[in-house]
């Protein structure tokens, strides 16, 4: 362990500015990187070279050591010193989304140490994540390079370092890209819709409660005389079944996959008097509606598969054109949901992005039953036992 690392274990109390923040600053100003990991120290001690990164390995950074060592009984003054230390580490280039030797993010460790999600320290890490994501988007000139971390690839971690072990995606997935997915055969099981060969979970019935809440949200405006609702992505038709119970005057369903469309035919969705099916990708169907200029919705829901957050940014353009002034937009929020910290970062990013479109996002917490059996699918795509349900309206 280096001197820097030792300092971050808080060997003495109280945690004061002079003993810790000033010392930390001195170390970093002398050239020790804020990303100097325990793994690099070990590699150096074993003569493998401190600069050697193990791309598949962990990165136990100074911030991990600091959060792991946090006393449970921090005073208010000590919390402020720790916050200052975090500021210094971020200022010197510490990353927010590295994972350590126990596969934990800084956010995981803070929560384990009893820090509150709304507390200064956790919020500081989220703020660092949001800044890093938005900055990278700018640097990439709009070409956002997201890594998929959830079911439908909306939520995606950007790497903050090309060599470091950050939250990593499972890259071996049919669901990686929309074109491949739409040409991939699907299979309906008793409680899910999966890709036939890869067993990627497209939709699973543990989400039923979320879909029930979402249907209520998007059907909450409009009147008995005119309630026009749009759902993008049919999947198992769970939300569409709930929407039907709200008796919309017109219920549009946009769906692109041939196997899903075939299922919708068999199940009689094409014959329902108030249902209008838009076959094909929303990118085509909805832009056509926009061009025609005579259909506007009281509620819009978006839940697709194999799309990226960039697609959602494109969707916002369409939503602002198709939503009535009092209308409500919502979507399946799996953005970053395989890691609580990433989930919190994307919660903020969505808020910022929709604000830029003159919209406001409010979240409701829905508890999620995580006893879901993931046996029949390749990997779990939701690892939080709560769900941030978004309700987006014009401000």
Ligand X SMILES: C[S@@+](CC[C@H](N)C(=O)[O-])C[C@H]1O[C@@H](n2cnc3c(N)ncnc32)[C@H](O)[C@@H]1O
Q: Which residues bind ligand X (CB under 6 A)?
A: 152, 178, 202-203, 211, 232-239, 254-257, 260, 281-283, 303-305, 307
CB 215, min distance to ligand X, A: 9
* DSSP letter, residue 98: B
Structure tokens at 319: 């939503």
CB 161, min distance to ligand X, A: 31
The CA distance from 324 to 394, in Å, is 9
Closest CB to ligand X among residues 16, 244 = 244
Closest CB to ligand X among residues 233, 340 = 233
- Please state at what angle helix 22-29 crosses helix 76-91, rounded to 10 degrees: 10
Closest CB to ligand X among residues 93, 258 = 258
The CA distance from 339 to 344, in Å, is 9
The CA distance from 337 to 341, in Å, is 8
Task: Tell which residue, 207, 236, 235, 199, has the closest CA to residue 379.
Answer: 199
Which residue stretches of 62-207 are H helix? 62-68, 76-91, 106-112, 120-139, 178-182
CB 138, min distance to ligand X, A: 26
Closest CB to ligand X among residues 206, 343 = 206
CB 273, min distance to ligand X, A: 21
Residue 218 and residue 229 in contact, taking contact as beta carbons nearer than 8 Å: yes
Q: From residue 105, how far is each of 84, 109, 135, 167, 340 by CA, in Å?
A: 19, 7, 20, 8, 9
Closest CB to ligand X among residues 28, 186 = 186
Closest CB to ligand X among residues 90, 302 = 302
Per the listing, tokens 């970062």 go with 345
CB 176, min distance to ligand X, A: 13
Per the listing, tokens 């390995």 go with 57
Facing residues of 366 across strands? 387
Phi, psi of 331 (to 5 degrees): -155, 160
Closest CB to ligand X among residues 256, 350 = 256
- Determine the residue with CB nearest ligand X: 235
Closest CB to ligand X among residues 4, 232 = 232
CB 267, min distance to ligand X, A: 12
Beta strands 147-148 and 156-157 are antiparallel
Closest CB to ligand X among residues 114, 258 = 258
CB 264, min distance to ligand X, A: 9
CB 311, min distance to ligand X, A: 7
CB 184, min distance to ligand X, A: 10
The CA distance from 384 to 333, in Å, is 12
CB 250, min distance to ligand X, A: 18
Phi, psi of 357 (to 5 degrees): -100, 15
Task: Tell which residue, 219, 154, 177, 175, has the closest CA to residue 349.
Answer: 154
Cα-based torsion angle of the residue sequence 287, 291, 292, 298 in order, rounded to the nearest 10 degrees: 60
The CA distance from 207 to 85, in Å, is 40
Distance of CA 270 to the CA centre of its chain: 33
Closest CB to ligand X among residues 222, 237 = 237
The CA distance from 132 to 87, in Å, is 14
């Amino acid at each position: 362990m280096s001197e820097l690392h030792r300092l971050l274990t808080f060997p003495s109390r109280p945690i004061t500015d002079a003993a810790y923040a000033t010392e930390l600053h001195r170390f970093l100003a002398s050239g020790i990187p804020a990303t100097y990991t325990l793994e690099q120290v070990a590699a150096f001690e074993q003569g493998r070279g401190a600069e050697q990164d193990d791309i598949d390995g962990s990165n136990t950074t100074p911030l991990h050591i600091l959060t792991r060592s946090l006393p449970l009984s921090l005073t208010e003054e000590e919390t402020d010193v720790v916050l200052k230390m975090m500021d210094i580490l971020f200022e010197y280039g510490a990353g927010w989304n590295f994972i350590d030797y126990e596969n934990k993010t800084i956010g995981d460790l803070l929560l384990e140490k009893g820090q509150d999600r709304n507390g200064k320290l956790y919020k500081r890490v989220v703020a660092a994540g949001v800044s890093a994501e938005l900055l990278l988007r700018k640097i990439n000139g709009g070409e956002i390079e997201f890594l998929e971390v959830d079911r439908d690839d909306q939520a995606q971690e950007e790497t903050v370092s090309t060599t470091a072990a950050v939250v990593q995606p499972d890259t071996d997935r049919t669901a990686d890209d929309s074109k491949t997915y739409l040409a991939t055969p699907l299979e309906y099981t008793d409680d899910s819709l999966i890709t036939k060969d890869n067993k990627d979970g497209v939709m699973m019935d543990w989400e039923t409660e979320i879909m029930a809440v979402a249907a209520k949200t998007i059907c909450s405006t409009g009147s008995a005389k005119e309630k026009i609702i749009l759902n993008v992505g049919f999947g198992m038709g769970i939300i569409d079944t709930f929407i039907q119970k709200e008796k919309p005057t017109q219920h549009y369903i946009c769906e692109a996959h041939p196997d899903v469309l075939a299922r919708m035919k068999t199940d009689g969705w094409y014959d329902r008097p108030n249902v209008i099916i838009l076959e094909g990708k929303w990118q085509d169907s909805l832009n056509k509606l926009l061009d025609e200029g005579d259909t506007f919705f009281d509620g819009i829901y978006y839940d697709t598969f194999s799309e990226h957050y960039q697609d959602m940014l494109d969707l916002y353009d369409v939503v602002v054109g198709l939503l009535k002034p009092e209308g409500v937009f919502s979507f399946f929020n799996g953005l970053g949901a395989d890691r609580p910290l990433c989930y919190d970062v994307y919660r903020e990013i969505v808020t910022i992005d929709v604000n830029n479109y003159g919209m406001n996002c409010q979240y409701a917490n829905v508890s999620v039953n995580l006893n879901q059996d993931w046996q029949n699918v390749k990997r779990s795509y939701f690892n939080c036992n709560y769900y941030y349900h978004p309700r987006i309206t014009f401000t």
